Amino acid sequence: MDVPSYHLNFVTEEYDENGMLKKFGIKYPDNFNYAYDIIDKYGEMEPDRRALMWVDLEGNEKLLTYGDLSRLSTQAANMYRAWGIRKGDKVMLVLKRNYQYWYAILGLMKLGAIAIPATHMLTTKDFQYRFQAADVSAVIATAHAEAAHYIDEADELLSAAVEVVLETGQASVSMLQRRLKLGYSRAARIVDEMEQRGIVGPFEGSKPRQLLVTREKWEEIKMRGGLGAMSSAAMAAQDAAAENPPVEEEIP
């Protein structure tokens, strides 16, 4: 393949008599995937070509070629698949401005997962809100700052609420307020999140919400990694990953 003109598969360009670009357009097929069609393709054609140069505030540098990004993003995709992440799953990336962000997000692209970049300055309540609003399946976070602590805390609060619901046999906002010392808004969000994650049934007026998981099922969920793997799709994917180990190749 003609490397200099490969990009013309995806863009249109028009130059004036002085060689200045005067028109530019983007074209791509419905199944276009940046990680495969750009990164992997250039990794195949020109593996040693510089893709990006990362520099931190202290002047430390990290050079990544297209070959590097292709290989590392495939490794990341295999790792995600082993964790049970699949096409359509929503994954938060809390990686600050680290170079690992690039092959982390490219790996998600290869799986067809939906990356949700987020700042490392979020706190517990911020993560709780996003977990609920976006139905997040997993979080990939930096070890720096307090991000990992807040993520664990957000997950622990929801887990504590599930324990209370299983113990009492009921899921009401007022009961969570009393038992967990929460305000009304936060308790209500937790009940809504439990509904979204299939732990309790929908609101039915004066009737108590139906419990949809047993103690045994909850223990199984915790063994699988907690509420980050609550969706039925993610749980089924973990079973499949256990039976089919990841391989170092393209992920369909």
pLDDT in tens, 173-204: 888 888 888 778 678 878 887 887 788 998 88
Rg of the chain taking only CA atoms, in angstroms:
23
| Cα 49–chain centre separation | 29
Q: For 4-18, 41-55, 67-81, 225-239, which range has the lowest pLDDT when averaged over its residues? A: 225-239
212: its two tokens: 């949809």
DSSP assigned state of 210: P
pLDDT at 208: 79
- Placement of tokens 């939906």 in the chain: 114
Residue scoring higher pLDDT (113 or 146): 113
- Residue in 67, 114, 111 with CA at minimum distance from that of residue 90: 114
Residue 23's pLDDT band (boundaries 50, 70, 90)?
very high
pLDDT at 52: 95
Burial of 4 (0-12, 13-18, 19+ CB in 10 A): exposed
Question: Is 83 a residue whose pLDDT tops 60?
Answer: yes
Residue 250 sits at φ, ψ, to 5 deg, of: -60, 140
Calculate ∠ Cα 186-218-138, nearest 5°: 65
Residue scoring higher pLDDT (173 or 228): 173
How confident is the model over 35-64, as a mean pLDDT?
95
Calculate ∠ Cα 227-232-236, nearest 5°: 105
Residue 73's pLDDT band (boundaries 50, 70, 90)?
very high
Residue 121: CB partners within 8 Å, gap ≥ 6? Answer: 145
| Cα 75 from Cα 69, distance rounded (Å) | 10
Q: For 72-76, 81-85, 104-108, 243-247, which range has the lowest pLDDT when averaged over its residues? A: 243-247
Residue scoring higher pLDDT (102 or 182): 102
pLDDT at 239: 41
Burial of 79 (0-12, 13-18, 19+ CB in 10 A): middle
How many helices, marked H, and strands, marked E, lie in the chain?
Answer: 10, 7
Question: Is 150 a residue whose pLDDT tops 60?
Answer: yes
Distances (CA, A) of 129 to 1, 25, 182, 188, 240: 48, 38, 15, 11, 30
